[in-house]
Structure 1
Amino acid sequence: MNSDDLPGRPAIEFHHYTAAQAREQRRTVEDIYRASYIDAIESGDEFETPDAFMHRFDAYTDPDRGDGFELVVAVIDGKPCGQTWGWPLQKSTAWWGGLSLDDGDPAEFTEEDGARTFALSEIMVRSADTGKGVARALHSELLDGRPEQRATLLVRPTNTRAYQTYLRWGWHRSGSLLPSWPDAPTFDVLIRELRHR
């Protein structure tokens, strides 16, 4: 599938992968990560090391999960330049562990059935390809037309650029969350209602 051609923007091609297919793209996934999170990797933060990142990727793509994982890779001129992935939260999800909700009933907020919430886990663009509309195109490609009621993502409060971008794209803060991953920071929880056609 190709993005709509916009004046001054390169044509973006999208490749979709299931969890099993995503495992076959492991090298591409790591290469995009290394070219997107250069400063984070160089910071020495244990959570941001390529090994820690790929350990999480392997857990997300575990074939036993069977939760509808989807990876989308953006390609410009034959070269992978960005990626995003996520999955619908199942009834037994561990996603909401460590949640501190700003308002409302936590039990109601975190109730999942596999059709209520889509978790957008990662979205990244190679540093050399930022400013070309790739992130927005990936965001739309993954979320547009999804059947779930809402989507959620986690963002570091200090990641001002990404945070402001998500707010412009219709996301809003609902609380904070400390994942159970080793060395994980506390993230803000963002929610976005999904449009249904």
Structure 2
Amino acid sequence: MNPGQNATGLENLVFHHLTAAQARDRRTEVEDIFRGSYIRAIDTGEKFESPDAFMHRFDAYTSPSRAAGFELVIAELDGHTCGQAWGWPLPENTAWWGGLELDEENAAEFTAENGSRTFALSEIMVRSELTGRGIAHALHNELLDARPEPRATLLVRPDNSRAYTTYRKWGWHRVGTLKPSWPDAPTFDVLIRDLPT
């Protein structure tokens, strides 16, 4: 547990770093945080945004066959869970880049992974009643600042202007688009960011 030192006014923000096995043990909390964070998305009825689909992806990400390097950070504020973020380093021959369409970069060079080049930031979320307080940025930094990889990637919906603006402010830039192989997945913009070394 580490106090959230980067979150102004959030002196009681505490982080818990979990491995895949530890994350599976807190599966109920993971789903609860999702349900409290993605209320509007769930209400759309879109299959990809349903709690069942989300937890199916979580189970896949944390399965013993795929969990190498998986890290989940859960944030607590005043003793209550308020948000979470997770990701993992992309292994050699990763399926992450399947369906990638780049704007300019050389695809073969860009997608060459060795297990220590790129960290995939898969999820970051904060309970809806607590957004706008700096918790998401604190979670983002807590997960990424100590990573050994030189770069990170994430996927964002092109029409999610609030998230897009925030990610750009945090140093991310667009390199192309990608449609994941998950059932009912939309097409996302691919963002990249250099990590501290």
Paired position in structure 2 for 1:100: 101
Give the share of equivalent positions with the same residue, in percent: 67
Residues 119 and 152 in structure 1, CA contact (< 8 A), matched pair in contact too = yes
Which region of structure 1 is more displaced relative to structure 2, 155-164 or 125-134?
125-134
- Partner Cα separation in structure 2 for residue 7 and residue 151 of structure 1: 25
- Which amino acid is 2:193 matched to? R
- Which amino acid is 1:104 matched to? E
TM-score normalised per structure 2: 0.97
Q: What is the DSSP-based 3-state SS (H/G/I as helix, E as strand, rest coil) of the residue aligned with 1:184?
A: coil
Residues 19 and 62 in structure 1, CA contact (< 8 A), matched pair in contact too = yes
Paired position in structure 2 for 1:17: 18
- Which amino acid is 1:148 matched to? E
In the TM superposition, structure 1's runs of 4+ consecutive aligned residues that sit over 4 Å from their partners are: none
Task: Provide closer, same or farther for how the CA distance between residues 5 and 91 of structure 1 changes in structure 2, counting only shifts above 3 A.
Answer: closer
Paired position in structure 1 for 2:177: 176
Structure 1 residue 131, shift from structure 2 partner: 1.7
Residues 179 and 185 in structure 2, CA contact (< 8 A), matched pair in contact too = yes
The reply to whether residue 120 of structure 1 matches residue 159 of structure 2 is no
Paired position in structure 1 for 2:87: 86
Task: Provide closer, same or farther for how the CA distance between residues 2 and 185 of structure 1 changes in structure 2, counting only shifts above 3 A.
Answer: same
- Partner Cα separation in structure 1 for residue 26 and residue 176 of structure 2: 33
Task: Provide closer, same or farther for how the CA distance between residues 42 and 160 of structure 1 changes in structure 2, counting only shifts above 3 A.
Answer: same
Structure 1 residue 142, shift from structure 2 partner: 0.2
Task: Provide closer, same or farther for how the CA distance between residues 111 and 98 of structure 1 changes in structure 2, counting only shifts above 3 A.
Answer: same
Paired position in structure 2 for 1:129: 130
Q: How many residues align?
A: 196
- Partner Cα separation in structure 2 for residue 71 and residue 101 of structure 1: 28
Paired position in structure 1 for 2:68: 67
Unaligned runs of 5+ in 1: none
Residues 67 and 89 in structure 1, CA contact (< 8 A), matched pair in contact too = no
Residues 42 and 49 in structure 2, CA contact (< 8 A), matched pair in contact too = yes
Unaligned runs of 5+ in 2: none
Q: Cα RMSD over matched residues?
A: 1.1
- Partner Cα separation in structure 2 for residue 22 and residue 93 of structure 1: 22
